[in-house]
Structure 1
Amino acid sequence: MTRFFKLLIAIVCFTLPQSVAAARDRIALVIGMADYQYLPPLENTHNDANGMAQSLENIGFDVTLSLDATAQDMVGLLDDFAFRSEVADLALIYFAGHGIEVQGENFLIPVDANVTSNRDVQRQSASLKQLLAAVDRARKMRVVILDSCRDNPLGDSIALSQTEATQTTSEETRGGGGG
């Protein structure tokens, strides 16, 4: 595991409020994607995910580790984690793998995604919004860490900023402040 991730774990641990740090209900979902079927494979993501999982376990987290999750696996993992986070004091998700932004929204690509259009990315990948929703009900603290290369793993095969015809409601177009 790189020095960056060791530093990140140290920062998370030392910046936790004392009551959260002492809590017994800390859960983590650690996802590492490397062996992509249709995209370039990644070399260090399994090592980073394994290192993160071990570090989190060492400081008392109940860790679920998933390597090379398919789209179906990701749906199940996020659903299960969202359910478990409702009774956790702290919920943390770590993702290492290909990430991509399409039409202003971030997506995390599972290993079996076969994408040739923006719509494929949106349908076959997990959105950052889904990860944020999965940790949202934790009682005291929610953390999402993305370790994704931000180059376009699809090359020039699709235009990521191209707008497709979609209907938006007034609720979707309001500045809701995200982060």
Structure 2
Amino acid sequence: MTTRSPSSNNITAPEQRGVNPVLVSSSTPTNQSLMALVIGNAKYEFSPLANPVNDAMDIAETLRQIGFKVTLKTNLDQVSMGTAIRQFTGRLSNQSVGLFYFAGHGTQVDGRNYLLPIDNHKIVDKQDLAAYAINVNQQVLARMEENRSHLNIV
């Protein structure tokens, strides 16, 4: 259950399976939409993971409880990740708060951050990252900023 502090305009989300409560100010203008894309990738072709889907589900539920409209996606390949990000960022506006959350494999190479889709067998060396992984700066942050959302959280 989400609780509101009687002495302030703060909302505390409940503690859930390994997720610490978050404190959010409820003073967000009512004309702003709170939008989140939450992705959990676990079923990797190489090096599968145990917890990202559970983590993504927990984060999505917590965000819903504090007022976000959440799109939850799990176990996405490269094409599906790109599509989900484009659809999400396309819905943002200057009246939006956009939050992007990813649980899964990621890497940093030459100062660039990449998120890995589950069809990671295509990535053999660092040159493959540009073609087969999600570049956080170009494909997530830049697209969020292009839509001039009020606030971006990654």
Q: How does 1:121-160 map to 2 (within 5 A)?
A: 121-129=129-137, 130-136=139-145, 137-144=147-154
What stretches of structure 1 move > 4 A for 4+ residues in a row? Answer: none
2: CA distance between counterparts of 1:134 and 1:32? 20
Q: How does 1:59-78 map to 2 (within 5 A)?
A: 59-78=66-85
Partner amino acid, structure 1, of 2:49: L
Q: Secondary structure at the match of 2:101?
A: strand
1: CA distance between counterparts of 2:135 and 2:76? 15
Q: Secondary structure at the match of 1:6?
A: coil
Identify, as 1 or 2, the structure richer in strand.
Answer: 2
1:62 Cα deviation (Å)? 0.9
Q: Secondary structure at the match of 2:128?
A: helix
Q: How does 1:24-173 map to 2 (within 5 A)?
A: 24-37=32-45, 39-86=46-93, 88-114=95-121, 115-129=123-137, 130-136=139-145, 137-144=147-154
Partner amino acid, structure 1, of 2:140: L
1:71–1:111 Cα contact (<8 Å) kept: yes
Structure 2 residue runs of 5 or longer lacking an equivalent are 1-15
Partner amino acid, structure 2, of 1:57: R
Partner amino acid, structure 2, of 1:28: A
**TM-score when normalising by structure 2:** 0.80
1:2 Cα deviation (Å)? 5.1
1:25 Cα deviation (Å)? 0.9
Structure 1 residue runs of 5 or longer lacking an equivalent are 145-179
1:59 Cα deviation (Å)? 1.3
2: CA distance between counterparts of 1:46 and 1:124? 21
Q: Secondary structure at the match of 2:104?
A: strand
Would you say how many aligned residue pairs link Structure 1 and Structure 2? 136
Q: Report % sequence identity.
A: 31
The two structures, once aligned, show a CA RMSD in angstroms of: 1.8
2:34–2:97 Cα contact (<8 Å) kept: yes
1:40 Cα deviation (Å)? 0.7
